[in-house]
Amino acid sequence: MGKAAVKSLFHLILTAATFVLAAVTVLASRSGHYHPESSTVMPLLGLAVPVLLVSCLIVSLCWAVARKKWAFVTLIAFFFNWEYLTAVIRFGSARDIPATASAPNHQGKPGGYLTVATYNVHNFGNEITGYSCKEIARYMRQQHVDVLCFQEFGGNKHFTADSLRRALSHWQYALIPADDSIRGLLPIAVFSRYPLTGGRFITYPHSSNCSMLCDIVAGTDTIRLLNNHLQTTGVSRNRKKWERELTTDNTRREVQAVQDAAETLHENFVKRAAQTDSICHLAIAAPHPVLVCGDFNSLPSSYTYRRLSEFLEDGFKTGGHGYMYTYRYGKRMLRIDYAFHSPELECIDYYSPDLDLCSDHNPVIFTVKY
């Protein structure tokens, strides 16, 4: 085979690969519209969207440098995921929050503004001194946070639950499930400067994850809050085992590792979808404006995100700006923590500060006008 033939074959392979990448990326843009029970492949494609988008940009740039029209193929596929892109990138600048927003009036009402933070604190790193908990409390006071929603909230024998309460005493009202109700579960809690009523702890079948429902009483207004920690992906727990299997010279073990990973992911996709449906029913039935926040372990390409977005507003889309990610690893490409709000609430600020403390997550802090 001559050089011209080899070159032509190589060009043909690259062109075919470009079209395959574009087709998969376009297909992945629809992943959130499929319930995980009805499709095994689509949720997996949704999980791959960040990598697919980066790949499309790289391929498009390479074709553009080569001055080939195929650059437009992957570029079109990239923008086909506009819904995902607008959920992680917002242009504009932060809006000013009135100084009265954090200053309660004689009714105990903060001028119609409420600042809420949601944070998976990973049990505060199980630190014996409580350093991270104290630093988080200090930072949240500086940000004038009114309500704290924690996931994976818990102390240890050195820095106990009472120690956590003292460190977070700025928020005088708290809902923390009793020890017997969270046995075998990943703990969750809410702390507030304003009274909390109607507290309800929500568990899910065959899951260590949970949610919490309560009402925030701010003066004469009431806002329903749903603090959530949805089904984990299982990747972190099984990653080392899968990596060991994939590095062996045994093909059968490698195939089994891939199958095990796919089955684990799919099982957790289905659990998370059912949990999402439960949250949606509670939010729709709420007699007050709703805030739904927490660690959802789901990308903006997921069924969970699309389902919640059907009747709630993504706070980042209404009040945020810049680039949004919340998971500190994964090349900072993953947004899996969210705050949604009812349309009658106005989100005027939304951000996720890069706090290098106890967790693999960043907090999400947002302010709503009610």
Of 35-49, 155-169, 178-192, 326-340, minimum mean pLDDT range: 178-192
Return the closest-CA partner of residue 303 out of 31, 24, 27.
31
Task: Give the residue-averaged pLDDT of 169-192.
Answer: 89
Residue 247: pLDDT band (50, 70, 90) is low
Q: Of the candidates 236, 219, 248, 15, which has an alpha carbon nearest to the alpha carbon of residue 106?
A: 219
- Going through 27-160 in order, the beta strands assigned E by DSSP cover 89-90, 113-120, 147-151
- 126 versus 260: the higher-pLDDT residue is 126
Q: One-letter amino acid identity for 337?
A: D
Read off the tokens for 91.
Answer: 């242009």
* Percent of the chain scoring above 70 in pLDDT: 88
Indicate the pTM of the whole model.
Answer: 0.91
Confidence of residue 245 (pLDDT cuts 50, 70, 90): low
Confidence of residue 6 (pLDDT cuts 50, 70, 90): confident
Mean pLDDT estimate for the chain: 91
Average pLDDT over residues 283-299: 97
